[in-house]
Amino acid sequence: MAVKVIAPGLSTTVQDLGRPGYYHLGIPLSGGMDRFALRTANMLVGNPEGAAVLEAVFTGPELEFTAPATVAVTGADLPAKVNGDERPCWEAFPVRAGDRLSFGFLRSGARAYIAVSGGIDVPEKLGSRSTYTLGALGGHEGRALKAGDELPVGAAPGAGGGSVPAALRLSPGTPAELRTLPGLYWHRITEAAGERFFSDIWKVAPEADRIGYRFRGGSPLEFVPRKQPFGAGSDPSNIVDACYPYGSIQVPGGTEPIVLHRDAVSGGGYMMVGTVISADMDLIGQLQPHSPARFVRVTMEQALAARHDRAAALARVRSHLRR
């Protein structure tokens, strides 16, 4: 069984739940940016939740199946079509040998997850099938798909089926609210700048990808004056190059915040004002350029409660699909 790539879409990559354990070498986690949608797509087709799927951004690929399979598309509202006939998102549907899966125009969200029963069976690299494009590692030949690629699909493990009703799905609001724990180099900016950072409405910049999401439109940060420490560099936003947490918000030059995501650069020389909490990372993966967003200040207790809520939302999908 295989999936043939007729047209690749803008940037379609193989992703699973990622490659932990190598961040100290600069190799990031990778994996689906919206892990909730990725897990759900796998559940719908009867795969283990961490099986490899295709992540398509803004535009979908066109695919042909060499054997019958069950397919599901979750995440962004990117209408799927089998041989031209539309299929609902967040619902399992069958395909036959020779069927073509294509996509209409994006209606909302940014990234769709296309799961195929059996999972995309590219070789594991460092324990994961995820594509880390910058390092040419994993996925299909370490890169986004191209027309003519043929992706192996594993043996289907069990029966899929069912659908996930809208009430059980998760998606960002307008403006998106990205809950943030201040910290890291927060003390480097003035109190007034910190208040504005959280009250301003920001917009996603066009430079938004798997490495990080850049935001524009808020006030520039004012720094607390200091003599720059040896080795840091001359700009007040410079630090001695250090590790970057996933979700950390760096602000080069104090102007445009960048939230690092699954393909994060593991470190660098820009101060970070805080970190988007783990529960809200999936939402970022569904933001389109120019969409509005706010950073919402939370405490560690609130972050852990949100993480718990997020796990409960996934558990609801699991129990719904088991019925």
Partner 1 sequence: MSIRFTFGGDEHIFAEVSEEMSLEAFFTGLSMTNAVREAGIRGVTEICPANASFQIRFDPDTIRPEDLLAELRSLEAAASKSDATLQTRIMEVPVFYRDPWTHETLMRFRERHQDPTATDLEYAARVNNLGSVEAFIEAHSGQPWFVSMVGFVAGLPFLFQMVERSRQIEVPKYLRPRTDTPKLTVGHGGCFSCIYSVRGAGGYQMFGITPMPIYDPEQKVSYLRDEMCLFRPGDIVKWKPIGRDAYDAALEEVGANRFEPNIRECTFSLAEFNRDMMGTNARLMEVLNGR
Q: Give contact residues for partner 1 (rule: CB under 8 A).
A: 20-21, 23-27, 125-126, 132, 134-138, 142, 181, 183-184, 186, 229-235, 238-243, 245-248, 265-269, 272, 274-279, 300, 303-304, 307, 311
Q: Which two tokens stand for residue 148?
A: 């003519």
- Contact (Cβ atoms closer than 8 angstroms) between residue 74 and residue 42: no
Provide, rounded to whole angstroms, the least separation between the CB of residue 194 and partner 1.
15
Provide, rounded to whole angstroms, the least separation between the CB of residue 98 and partner 1.
34
C-alpha 163/C-alpha 200 separation (Å) is: 38
- The smaller minimum CB distance to partner 1, of residues 76 and 277, is found at 277
- Contact (Cβ atoms closer than 8 angstroms) between residue 310 and residue 279: yes
Provide, rounded to whole angstroms, the least separation between the CB of residue 16 and partner 1.
17
Q: Read out DSSP for 155-182?
A: ---S----B--GGG-----SSEEEEEEE
Provide, rounded to whole angstroms, the least separation between the CB of residue 132 and partner 1.
8
- The smaller minimum CB distance to partner 1, of residues 94 and 269, is found at 269
- The smaller minimum CB distance to partner 1, of residues 19 and 111, is found at 19
- The smaller minimum CB distance to partner 1, of residues 32 and 60, is found at 32
- The smaller minimum CB distance to partner 1, of residues 10 and 243, is found at 243
C-alpha 288/C-alpha 26 separation (Å) is: 27
Provide, rounded to whole angstroms, the least separation between the CB of residue 261 and partner 1.
13
Classify the C-alpha dihedral 223-284-54-130 as positive or negative: positive
Provide, rounded to whole angstroms, the least separation between the CB of residue 284 and partner 1.
13
- The smaller minimum CB distance to partner 1, of residues 98 and 229, is found at 229
- The smaller minimum CB distance to partner 1, of residues 10 and 300, is found at 300
- The smaller minimum CB distance to partner 1, of residues 100 and 143, is found at 143
Name the 3-class secondary structure at 309. Answer: helix
Provide, rounded to whole angstroms, the least separation between the CB of residue 28 and partner 1.
9
Provide, rounded to whole angstroms, the least separation between the CB of residue 255 and partner 1.
11
Q: Chain centroid to CA 142: how far?
A: 18
Q: 176 CB contacts (<8 Å, ≥6 apart)?
A: 283, 284, 287, 291, 292, 293, 294
- Contact (Cβ atoms closer than 8 angstroms) between residue 251 and residue 282: no
Classify the C-alpha dihedral 14-18-19-22 as positive or negative: positive
C-alpha 168/C-alpha 323 separation (Å) is: 15
- Rg of the chain, C-alpha, whole Å: 20
Q: Where are the alpha helices (DSSP H) in the chain?
A: 35-44, 191-199, 281-284, 300-322
Q: What are phi and psi of 169, to 5 degrees?
A: -85, 165
- The smaller minimum CB distance to partner 1, of residues 25 and 201, is found at 25
Provide, rounded to whole angstroms, the least separation between the CB of residue 25 and partner 1.
5
Neighbours of 204 (CB within 10 A): 22
Q: 245 CB contacts (<8 Å, ≥6 apart)?
A: 184, 260, 272, 275
